[in-house]
């Protein structure tokens, strides 16, 4: 067997110069080898997070400890923002003979003070059904016993076994609040305001109190709002003062979520325990808060798929 | 010149390595994932609203306080915190009728699962802060505790137009209202209205009122008394009931896991 002359085969014309005894192919081969090594290192680095756990059989590689990304959504799952800082989620759809009621719960945004955030006041809703019929809301009902829960009523005669696709909030009722106080002489109970009380709470809006009655244990204030296109709600707190402007006592209305109106009556209760009465009072300071409805156009869609339906 | 050859070879090597890893290593992640006992894909966790270990049910957070097992009975203590907005418009320092920050969802139906797989049900009332489970044996270990049913106080409003005449009646969501008496006087009219909700499965809390505020209400057990001042009382009254029902909700939310709590 003859010995194959590799040197001859690989000889380059450049070798004839004698300037370099190193074979000419060496740099390319060395480069390829180095490149492969670098490539392997590179791929290992890129894929390290995936490949490393594969070789581990220990208990440390769990989803709770490796690469967990903590997320902090603004609202719990399923809640859709209705107004800045307040979101709602449908909980149930109740179908009666002439009425479809959608039950919502609401929450404040993460980190917000729930006790310092007002309830959503209501709005105008549409209810889309799978049969193509769209129902329009007639009323939004709030309850003093369920914080943040409200129901939206949709009149519907014999809606049938249709499904409900989504509820759309077209118009939200925000409120602008006006507060202040006015005073009048108090001549003892039973007290009745001698004339219509008219209070300009803003340039356009006037609070009228056609009647104010203050008795030993209770009282009432009839109210009207003029100049507010969509009405509002009113609260009045009569505070009795003595001759030195020191407080003798006050009346307060039972707090409830009131639906907007242009008129109403507040039933008042004396806030001091028996036998403390109105003795010594010479002035009524009438503290008021008027929340006027402002309509805000919205385009909020709340999906209803999967929401329980009680027929 | 050698540097150029080395550089070209280097790049070729890198490309070869990457290409070969794609050819031979392409199935790697799937293959390794299938053999892993736990997932290797990081899943995002949700930061707690109040405390780690809490469980979220809609607008209410259950905060586990403790689990005590003794003589075959397990007591799970918890607190509730609400995320629902509770401020009324504007006023209201004097009111005490609505506790601020109250939970919305009220726990009712629970299930405890033992390590052996036994399921123990229990129920609680709206005011409870502890649930009691009778374990199947004295040495049973608790694996998980889940809330599987709760109630929401759902407000409703309904109305009916009642003629001002004795015996007139109408149906409201909260029951049947009937005019029991009409007392017409020279300067006023007094109407008494009864509410019967004996046929309502879950009697709601109801507040009857007239839609017309000129009918002055007075407290009356089992109904409503309305007074119209003057001789011009209308022939009918629109009566509203505004109340709430404790509507049941089904679900399953794990509120305690032994493996996590240890």
Q: Mind telling me how many Å the CA of B29 is from chain A's nearest CA?
A: 7
CB contact under 8 A, B46 and A47: no
Q: What is the DSSP letter of A118?
A: B
Minimum CA–CA partner of B218 in chain A: A267
Q: Which residues contact B116 (CB under 8 A, 6 or more apart)?
A: B136, B140, B141
Q: State how far the Cα of B19 lies from the Cα of B23, in Å rounded to an integer.
A: 6
Count of CB atoms within 10 A of residue A305's CB? 10
pLDDT > 60? residue A204: yes
**Mean pLDDT value across residues A104-125:** 84
The band of A265, judged by pLDDT with boundaries at 50, 70 and 90, is confident
Count of CB atoms within 10 A of residue A65's CB? 11
The band of B205, judged by pLDDT with boundaries at 50, 70 and 90, is low
Q: Mind telling me how many Å the CA of A63 is from chain B's nearest CA?
A: 5
Q: Which residue has the higher pLDDT, A58 or B228?
A: B228
| Average confidence score pLDDT of chain B | 77
Q: State how far the Cα of A182 lies from the Cα of A180, in Å rounded to an integer.
A: 7
Q: State how far the Cα of B244 lies from the Cα of B98, in Å rounded to an integer.
A: 14
pLDDT of res. B224 = 87
Determine the CATH number of domain B55-152+248-261. Answer: 2.60.40
B39 phi, psi to nearest 5 deg: -65, 145
pLDDT of res. A297 = 94
Q: State how far the Cα of A236 lies from the Cα of B4, in Å rounded to an integer.
A: 90
Count of CB atoms within 10 A of residue A247's CB? 11
Q: Which residue has the higher pLDDT, A62 or A234?
A: A234
The secondary structure element, H or E, covering residue A32 is: helix A26-46
What percent of chain B shows pLDDT beyond 70?
A: 71
The band of A125, judged by pLDDT with boundaries at 50, 70 and 90, is very high
Q: Kind of pairing, strands A283-303 and A263-270?
A: unpaired
The structure tokens 């007239």 sit at B210
Q: Is the distance from CB of A200 to CB of B114 less than 8 angstroms? A: no
> Chain A partners of B83 at a C-beta cutoff of 8 Å?
76, 107-108, 114, 148
Q: Is the distance from CB of A171 to CB of A295 less than 8 angstroms? A: yes
Q: Which residue has the higher pLDDT, A287 or A120?
A: A287
The band of A53, judged by pLDDT with boundaries at 50, 70 and 90, is very low
pLDDT of res. A57 = 31
Q: Residue A256: name the closest of A266, A248, A246 by CA.
A: A266
First to last CA, chain A: 98
The band of B215, judged by pLDDT with boundaries at 50, 70 and 90, is confident
pLDDT > 80? residue A305: yes
Q: pLDDT digit string (tens) for A248-262?
A: 999 998 756 567 888
**Mean pLDDT value across residues B99-113:** 81
Q: Which residue has the higher pLDDT, A223 or B4?
A: A223
Count of CB atoms within 10 A of residue A43's CB? 18
Query: Is the C-alpha dihedral spanning B197, B202, B206, B212 positive or negative?
Result: negative
| Average confidence score pLDDT of chain A | 79
Q: Which ipTM was obtained for this model?
A: 0.71
CB contact under 8 A, A149 and B42: no
Count of CB atoms within 10 A of residue A183's CB? 13
- Number of Cα atoms under 13 Å in the Cβ half of residue B53: 15
Q: Which residue has the higher pLDDT, B207 or A276?
A: A276
What percent of chain A shows pLDDT beyond 70?
A: 74
Query: Is the C-alpha dihedral spanning B196, B201, B204, B208 positive or negative?
Result: negative
pLDDT of res. A109 = 92
Q: Residue B97: name the closest of A260, A256, A250 by CA.
A: A256
Q: State how far the Cα of B72 lies from the Cα of B133, in Å rounded to an integer.
A: 8
CB contact under 8 A, A143 and B87: no
Q: Is the distance from CB of A214 to CB of A191 less than 8 angstroms? A: yes
B29 phi, psi to nearest 5 deg: -60, -40
pLDDT of res. A50 = 37
A233 CB near a chain B CB, below 8 Å?
Answer: yes
- Number of Cα atoms under 13 Å in the Cβ half of residue A13: 0
pLDDT of res. B87 = 63
Q: pLDDT digit string (tens) for A152-200?
A: 999 998 787 889 999 999 999 888 889 999 999 999 999 998 889 999 9
The band of B260, judged by pLDDT with boundaries at 50, 70 and 90, is low
pLDDT of res. A42 = 45
**Mean pLDDT value across residues B216-224:** 76
Q: What is the DSSP letter of B202?
A: S
pLDDT > 50? residue A19: no
> Chain B partners of A235 at a C-beta cutoff of 8 Å?
89-92
Rounded to whole angstroms, what are the CA distances from B22 to A50, A229, B40? Answer: 14, 70, 20
Q: Which of A63, A107, A259 sits opposite B59 (nearest CB)?
A: A107
Extents of the domains making up chain B: 55-152+248-261, 155-246
Q: Which of A68, A107, A252 sits opposite B83 (nearest CB)?
A: A107
What percent of chain B shows pLDDT beyond 90?
A: 38
pLDDT of res. A260 = 81
pLDDT of res. B219 = 64
Q: Mind telling me how many Å the CA of A91 is from chain B's nearest CA?
A: 8
pLDDT > 60? residue A282: yes
Q: pLDDT digit string (tens) for B131-189?
A: 999 999 888 899 999 999 999 988 888 888 999 999 999 988 778 899 999 999 889 99
Q: Which of A27, A38, A89 sits opposite B14 (nearest CB)?
A: A38
Q: Which of A34, A121, A179 sits opposite B10 (nearest CB)?
A: A34
Q: Is the distance from CB of A122 to CB of B155 less than 8 angstroms? A: no
- Number of Cα atoms under 13 Å in the Cβ half of residue A63: 12
- The DSSP line for B62-125 is EEEEEEEEETTEEEEEEEEEE-S--B-SS--SS--SS-TT--SSEEEEEEEEETT--EEEEE--
Query: The pTM is what?
Result: 0.70
A132 CB near a chain B CB, below 8 Å?
Answer: no
Rounded to whole angstroms, what are the CA distances from B38 to A49, A63, A68, B83? Answer: 15, 7, 14, 34
Q: pLDDT digit string (tens) for B12-60?
A: 444 454 444 444 443 433 333 333 444 455 566 778 888 888 999 989 9
């Amino acid at each position: 067997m003859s010995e194959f002359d590799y040197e001859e085969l690989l000889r380059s014309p450049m070798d004839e110069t004698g300037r370099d005894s190193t074979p000419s192919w060496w740099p390319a081969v060395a480069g390829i080898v180095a490149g492969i090594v670098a490539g392997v290192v590179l791929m290992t680095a890129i894929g390290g997070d995936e490949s490393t756990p594969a070789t581990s059989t220990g208990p440390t590689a769990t989803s709770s400890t490796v690469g967990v990304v903590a997320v902090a959504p603004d609202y719990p799952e399923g809640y859709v923002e209705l107004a800045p800082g307040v979101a709602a989620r449908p909980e149930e759809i109740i179908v009666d003979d002439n009425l479809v009621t959608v039950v919502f719960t609401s929450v404040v945004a993460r980190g917000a003070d729930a006790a310092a955030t007002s309830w959503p006041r209501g709005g105008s809703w549409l209810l889309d059904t799978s049969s193509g019929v769209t129902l329009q809301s007639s009323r939004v009902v709030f309850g003093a016993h369920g914080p943040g829960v409200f129901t939206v009523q949709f009149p519907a005669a014999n809606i049938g076994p249709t499904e409900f696709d989504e509820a759309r909030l077209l118009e939200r009722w925000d409120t602008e609040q006006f507060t202040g106080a006015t005073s009048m002489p108090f001549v003892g109970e039973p007290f009745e305001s001698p004339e219509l009380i008219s209070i300009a709470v803003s340039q356009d809006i006037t609070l009228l109190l056609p009647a104010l009655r203050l008795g030993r244990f209770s009282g009432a204030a009839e109210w009207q709002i003029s100049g507010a296109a969509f009405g509002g709600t009113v609260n009045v707190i009569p505070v009795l003062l003595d001759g030195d402007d020191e407080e003798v006592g006050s009346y307060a209305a039972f707090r409830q979520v009131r639906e907007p109106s242009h008129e109403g009556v507040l039933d008042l209760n004396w806030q001091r325990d028996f036998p403390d009465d109105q003795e010594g009072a010479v002035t009524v300071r009438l503290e008021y808060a008027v929340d006027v409805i402002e309509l805000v156009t919205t385009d909020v869609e709340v999906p209803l798929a999967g929401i329980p339906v009680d027929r | 010149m050698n540097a150029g050859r080395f550089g070209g070879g280097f790049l070729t090597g890198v490309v070869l390595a990457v290409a070969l890893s794609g050819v031979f290593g392409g199935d790697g992640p799937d293959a390794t994932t299938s053999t892993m006992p736990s997932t290797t894909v990081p899943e995002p966790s949700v930061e707690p609203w109040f405390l780690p270990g809490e469980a979220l049910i809609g607008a209410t957070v259950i905060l586990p306080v403790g689990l005590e097992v003794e003589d075959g009975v397990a007591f799970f203590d918890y607190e509730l915190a609400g995320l629902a907005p509770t401020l009324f418009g504007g006023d209201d320092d004097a009111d005490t009728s609505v506790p601020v920050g109250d939970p919305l969802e009220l726990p009712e139906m629970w299930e405890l699962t033992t390590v052996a797989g036994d399921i123990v049900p229990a129920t609680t009332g709206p005011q409870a802060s502890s649930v009691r489970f009778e374990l199947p044996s004295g040495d049973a270990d608790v694996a998980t505790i889940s809330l599987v049913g709760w109630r929401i106080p759902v407000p409703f409003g309904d109305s009916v137009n009642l003629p001002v005449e004795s015996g007139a009646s109408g149906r409201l969501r909260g029951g049947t209202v009937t005019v029991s008496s009409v007392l017409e006087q020279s300067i006023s009219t007094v109407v008494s209205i009864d509410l019967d909700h004996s046929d309502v499965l879950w009697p709601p809390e109801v507040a009857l009122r007239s839609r017309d505020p000129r009918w002055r209400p007075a407290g009356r057990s089992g109904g409503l008394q309305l007074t119209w001042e003057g001789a011009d009382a209308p022939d009918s009254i629109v009566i509203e009931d505004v109340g709430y029902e404790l509507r049941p909700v089904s679900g399953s939310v794990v509120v305690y896991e032994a493996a996590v709590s240890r």
